[in-house]
Structure 1
Amino acid sequence: MKNASLILNVILTIAVAVLYYLHFKDRQPETASVVTSPAEAKGKAIVYVNVDSLLTKYDYFKDTQKVLESKRFQLENDLASKGRNLQNKVAFFQQRAATMTQEQGRATEASLQKEQQDILAYRERAAQNLAAEEQDKNKQLYDQIYDYLKKQNAQNKYEFVLGYTKGGGILFADPSGDQTSKILAGLNKEYQAKQTKK
C-alpha cells in the first residue's frame, strides 16, 4: 500500500508539472507588449524661451520701453519746471515779505502752500497713470506672446513652453529645447507686419 501511495504521489506531481507547463507555455511575457519604440513613447515636447533675450530683442517691447521712458523723462522735466517756478515764487515772496502787510503775507504764503500741494498731487496722479499704462503695456506684451505661441502650437507640437530666466525657477534647461530665436523671429515679423499696416 505504501508503494501505491508513493506511485500515486509521483504521478500527481508529474501531472501538476505538465499542467503548469501547458498553462504557461503559450503566454508571451507581459513586458514585450508594453515596450514601444522611443518615437512612439515620446509625448509632446516641452520647450523653453529665454525671457531675458525675448524682452531685450522683441521690437514691440523695445518700442514700448522707449515710449514709457520718454513719458517718464517728460514727467520729470515737467515736475522740475513746476518745482523751479515754485522756488522762484518763494524766493520772490521772501524778498518782498518785509514790504507786505501781514494779511498779504498770509495770503501769499497760503497760495504758495496750495501750489506746492497741487504739484505733489499732480506728481502722484501722473506717477499712478504712468504705472497703470506700464501695467497695461505689460499685459499687451504677455497677450501678444501668448497668442503667438497658441497660434504656432495649433498642431499641439508642444505640451509646455516654459519661460527661462537665469536665477529663476528652472535651474537647468537643455539647449536643444531652446526655441527663443525661432519664437522671437516670428514675433518680430508679426509685429513689423502690424506696424506697416498702421
Structure 2
Amino acid sequence: MKKIPLYSSIAALVISLLALYFSKSSSELVYVDVNKLITGYEKTKIAKAEFDKKANLMKANVDSLVGNWQKELKNYEKERTSLSPKELKLKQELLSNKQQQINGYQEAIQKKIQEEDKKVTQTVINDINDYIKEYGKSHSYKIIFGASGGGNIMYADESTDLTEEILKGLNAEYGKK
C-alpha cells in the first residue's frame, strides 16, 4: 500500500519534467540585434541623409549670422578710435544685442535639430518594432528579445539570432513603399 503513493509521485514527477521539457522546446526564444537593425535598415540611411541635409542648412544659416557679426565686430575695432563716446556706447550696445540674439537663435536651432533627430529616430524604431511584432505573430514566436549592447542579453546562441532575417524582410517591405 505504501508503494502506490511512491509510484504515483515518481510518475507525476516524470510527467511534469516531460511536460516542462516539451513546453520549453516548443516555445523558442529568439532575439534580434537592435543596433544592426537600425543601421542596416534602408529607411534609416535615407532618413539620416535627409536629416543631415536639413541640419547642415540650419547650421550654415547660424554660421552666416555669426560671420556677419564677426565682420561688424572687426569694423568696430577699426573705427573705435574715431568714434565719439556716445557713438562708441551705442555701437557696443548694438553689437552686444546682436550677439545675444545670435546666441538665442543658435540655441533654438540646436534644440530644433535635436528634436528633429529624435523624431526621425523614433519613426525608424516604430517601423522596426511594428515589423517585428507582425513577424513574431506570423512565425508563432512567443518572445523576441532585443539586444542592444546595453547588457539586456549577455549571451545567446547564434542560432537564435533573427537579425539578418528580420533585416531582409524589413528592407523588402520598405522597398515596396
Q: Could you tell me the TM-score, scaled by structure 1's length?
A: 0.76
Write out aligned runs for 1:175-194 (5 A).
175-194=158-177
1:11 aligned residue: none
* Structure 1: segments with no counterpart, 5+ residues: 1-19
1:85 aligned residue: 68
Amino acid at match of 2:35: D
CA RMSD of aligned residues (A): 2.5
Note the C-alpha offset of 1:160: 1.8
Q: For 2:137, what is the secondary structure of its paired residue? A: coil
Name the count of aligned residue pairs.
173
- The answer as to 2:5 corresponding to 1:30 is no
Amino acid at match of 1:93: Y
TM-aligned CA distance change 1:88 to 1:24, over 3 Å: closer
1:14 aligned residue: none
Decide whether the 8 Å contact of 1:58 with 1:188 is kept in 2: yes
Q: For 1:170, what is the secondary structure of its paired residue? A: coil
Q: For 1:153, what is the secondary structure of its paired residue? A: helix
Decide whether the 8 Å contact of 2:30 with 2:161 is kept in 1: yes
2:111 aligned residue: 128
1:95 aligned residue: 78
Note the C-alpha offset of 1:118: 0.9
Amino acid at match of 2:27: K
2:39 aligned residue: 56
Note the C-alpha offset of 1:37: 9.3
Q: For 2:54, what is the secondary structure of its paired residue? A: helix
Decide whether the 8 Å contact of 2:37 with 2:163 is kept in 1: yes
2:155 aligned residue: 172
- The answer as to 2:98 corresponding to 1:118 is no
Displaced runs of 4+ in structure 1, greater than 4 A?
36-41
Note the C-alpha offset of 1:94: 1.6
1:3 aligned residue: none
Q: For 1:171, what is the secondary structure of its paired residue? A: coil
Instruction: Please tell me whether Structure 1 or Structure 2 has the larger radius of gyration of its CA atoms.
Output: 1
Note the C-alpha offset of 1:172: 0.8
Q: Distance in 2 between matches of 1:41 and 1:98?
A: 86
Q: Which of 73, 78, 81 in structure 1 is aligned with 2:56?
A: 73
Decide whether the 8 Å contact of 2:38 with 2:125 is kept in 1: no
TM-aligned CA distance change 1:24 to 1:163, over 3 Å: closer
Decide whether the 8 Å contact of 1:48 with 1:179 is kept in 2: yes
Note the C-alpha offset of 1:177: 0.6
